[in-house]
Structure 1
């Protein structure tokens, strides 16, 4: 089995070198070269359509990052974009006061999401998770927070603590997904002063294998929250409108007090939501202040309403579960065939291929070699983040991807 040659990413590198003179680090967040494989992956993209991306050097990829999750339908989805264009052209989208579309979207959420009675609309996932904590603290008049999962870049939850006083996160305690005993121990110590338990109802920790809930885990967390009078918040930024139309809470049958939604709700347009039970949400009307110049902008409301319409009309999630289920079953067959320590976790709409850790650290070399081969072959995954299936992935796209995974694992076994 012959290794593929490296991609030509000359223009990407030139733009990055220029960017380092203009922007701290060149690019921000999880888009830095070090968050992929430096020297192998492009850094700047030019276009996207459906499930395909083209970088500034002209390399084309079948993409499984989906913009880190928002692209549930496909890039440049014409029906969504046209609805937004019409809104901007015919009515406008940024005004001093609110347009009616917030009511339409809020009402739609109450039809779909089990916990939804009242909603607040924001722009980013970090906006929404932080607002949910503020609401929970205002409602309960308590301080502490138990957390499980990634909840954004704000002071109370960000992993890198530079520039943040310890007092901003000293009342936030972390527990591990599917570890009910750990949460029970924390609540025994802090439960009477705990405002919120915020967690991802489906386990997708950063850089780690994904987990479905063990029997009784979500139910156990719900019972603990009830016992201590604590607000249970589901961070469904990634799982909402992807695992089901009602999110993981609908799929698994356990309803939180508040839910945080974003990403797939608007197929790439910037909007997030805190939604939940009226009694808890009303704290936002009387006890705290949440506002932004851009929160009421209607372009993203229109995109969300149109995206939800398409998701329902075309049974998009059924399509993703069906083809994604076949796809991950076939990936598992390839893993069994080659036996190089690869591990597949997740579910049909979102999955992750990692390598079994060992004391020598050889798994890191395997990971680098494997994902370098995939990107060279034109398949865009991340070594450090799970992948997604979107509606525009065709059976042929998935077949080509399986061939590339087969060849890359074979090369790994050969080496």
Structure 2
């Protein structure tokens, strides 16, 4: 890149790596003037730079199939990868999900807890609202439960986008439904992780607004499987969004029977063309018209897709596959559990068994008694081999900026 745009809060950090950026010619800093730092021939203040610019712009001569932007994955499974997206991808998503699922309209106000620099937030806060000329709220701070409720109470958005972990935190805030006005929100949307059915039910009971759980990925730019406002199946990701097709295949790439778990493939015209500078990984993920999402799913007889976990997160216990999401959904239904992540750990016989990292609700204390109670709670809801053999209470779970749990961190020996 020849030009870098950066906020003053990050400018000091980035200055340390400038010698490594061999192609960089200019830096435009938002807030440089306010920081007291002077402009140079190559470092510019954003406000002054835009003041000097012409008010007449000439559109670049591009086609719908030209490369438009690189969007980096969140890094939930490792180092982020740059997905190369085309000029038409945002328009395609706006038509598919924005129009058919959100039914977004000019009088809506969109508020996304996920920030603009991630795929989920980019659609929620930028091109979905832009596609119909509606408004969007931008909050630069950390999206805590209290901050989110205060903003919704004051600004009255109609569409609210968040990850399941934030919905759990919103539910954990005492008496929030009476302290804050949530009535302006006509629709909530969840993505980033599977939304447990218990969180969905409790949220609807308290705030009287549906949550549409869906699946998207940076490679496809936005959501391609989703529930609908008039067709919600708690615990499922829903059905393919108009304009997308999805398949579940085995290790040989053959479609699996209904009800059988396999690897999810998706196709639609918002797919990236490759990962930037990652040729081998690109060949693994972008398979002609189909994109391998890295998710394990099954489809029921009515056509709903059910999330089992990331392929790398699946556990084989007693010779049978175990979905960490299924175990997590069982644990989250216990009154003491605020957040949970399940990974594989080995016992003294070097056999893999489920291990749960649990963040407790306020008012509960970690103890062996509670750990045993949680194990019994899961045993009563799932087949016995799926219950977590170990419960570790932690103050928080490692997450990406989008709220996805970084399970690979928890799998490390010193986690």
Greater relative contact order (Cα < 8 A, sep 6+): 1
Question: Would you tell me which structure has more strand in proportion to its own residues?
Answer: 2
Provide TM-score, normalisation by structure 2: 0.31
TM-score for the superposition, normalised by structure 1: 0.31
